[in-house]
């Protein structure tokens, strides 16, 4: 059996953990040690109710299986022009240049009245109220000045979440939303003892491999060589003795 050696920084963290969790048994202490040593950060994938070794492991698996995001394309339609070649009469705001055409708006005269009445750049007042002043033109030359070439719809690549179906501007945004809303961290010490969620196969094998009796014994043996852990080791050994007698 390979002799386990615990680095000083791990010993310090383990000692702090045991001071805060005085009733921690040997399994709990060992799992905490493994979590720190291997930088394990288990996460629960809420939708599938499966616990993974880490957030990165889960993301890597979902991306490889095409279950995280999908690339898609949307059309961006620009607002139609207020004036076009068929417009014969226009109503113009003198304060902003906003224009309404008689063939592009169902009621352009009412529209211009409403516009100038609320226009923030209209500083003219009559009786304390904004004046409803505007221009009207049926001159083709004047109208032509307001005609702009229509813009064609633009295609844009975006990404949809496989989980929620929502659209995002980038893959990064999909992943960030997934991390925020679809996973939950869970301490390693709570993973083996719970039975509500499935443990991902590779992660489960890792736990089983490290919870072998010889590895636990090596862990206890190493701690027994350090006086600061002696009281914890003695307590664990007493618990084992009582359990054996029962």
Q: pLDDT band for position 2 (50/70/90)?
A: low
> In this model, does residue 236 exceed pLDDT 60?
yes
Domain boundaries along the sequence of the chain? 1-42+186-232, 90-144
Give the pLDDT confidence of 34-58 residue by residue, as tens digits. Answer: 999 999 999 999 999 999 999 999 9
Tell me the CA distances in angstroms from 246 to 11, 24, 177, 237, 241, one per residue in order: 33, 21, 51, 14, 9
Note the pTM of the prediction, 2 decimals: 0.71
Measured distance CA(38)–CA(34) in Å, rounded: 6
Are 132 and 116 in contact by the 8 Å Cβ rule? The answer is: yes
Angle, helices 230-245/26-37, rounded to nearest 10 degrees:
130
Which of 73-87, 162-176, 203-217 comes out lowest in average pLDDT?
73-87
**How far, in Å, CA of 45 to CA of 60, rounded?**
13
Structure token pair of residue 94: 């003198």
- Assess whether pLDDT exceeds 60 at residue 226: yes
Provide mean pLDDT across the span 233-239.
84
pLDDT reported for residue 4? 79
- What are 5's two structure tokens? 């050696």
- Separation of CA 237 from chain center: 45
Query: Residue 118 contacts by C-beta under 8 Å, 6 or more apart in sequence?
Result: 130
d(CA 66, CA 60): 10
Indicate if the pLDDT at residue 245 is higher than 70.
no
Please say if the pLDDT value at position 1 is more than 70: no
Would you state the pLDDT for residue 173? Answer: 95
Burial (CB < 10 A; 0-12, 13-18, 19+), residue 11, is middle
Q: How far apart are CA 35 and CA 158, in angstroms?
A: 38
Contact 229, 16 (CB under 8 A): no
The least confident of 29-33, 55-59, 177-181, 226-230 is 226-230
């Amino acid at each position: 059996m390979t002799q386990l050696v615990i680095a000083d920084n791990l010993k310090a963290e383990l000692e702090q953990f045991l001071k805060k969790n005085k009733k921690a048994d040997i399994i709990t202490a060992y799992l905490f040690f493994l979590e720190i040593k291997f930088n394990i950060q288990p996460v629960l994938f809420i939708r599938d109710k499966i616990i993974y070794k880490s957030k990165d492991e889960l993301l890597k698996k979902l991306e490889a299986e095409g279950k995280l995001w999908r690339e898609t394309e949307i059309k961006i339609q620009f607002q139609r022009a207020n004036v076009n070649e068929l417009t014969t009469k226009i109503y113009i705001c003198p304060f902003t240049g906003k224009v309404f055409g008689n063939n592009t708006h169902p009621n352009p005269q009412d529209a211009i009245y409403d516009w100038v009445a609320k226009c923030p750049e209209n500083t003219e007042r009559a009786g304390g109220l904004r004046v409803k002043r505007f221009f009207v033109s049926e001159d083709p030359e004047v109208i032509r000045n307001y005609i702009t070439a229509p813009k064609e719809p633009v295609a844009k690549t975006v990404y949809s979440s496989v989980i929620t179906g929502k659209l995002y501007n980038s893959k990064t945004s999909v992943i960030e939303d997934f991390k925020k809303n679809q996973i939950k961290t869970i301490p390693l010490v709570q993973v083996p003892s719970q039975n509500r969620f499935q443990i991902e196969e590779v992660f489960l094998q890792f736990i089983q491999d490290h919870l072998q009796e010889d590895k636990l014994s090596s862990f206890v043996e190493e701690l027994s060589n350090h006086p600061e852990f002696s009281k914890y080791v003695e307590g664990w050994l007493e618990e084992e003795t009582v359990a054996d007698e029962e």
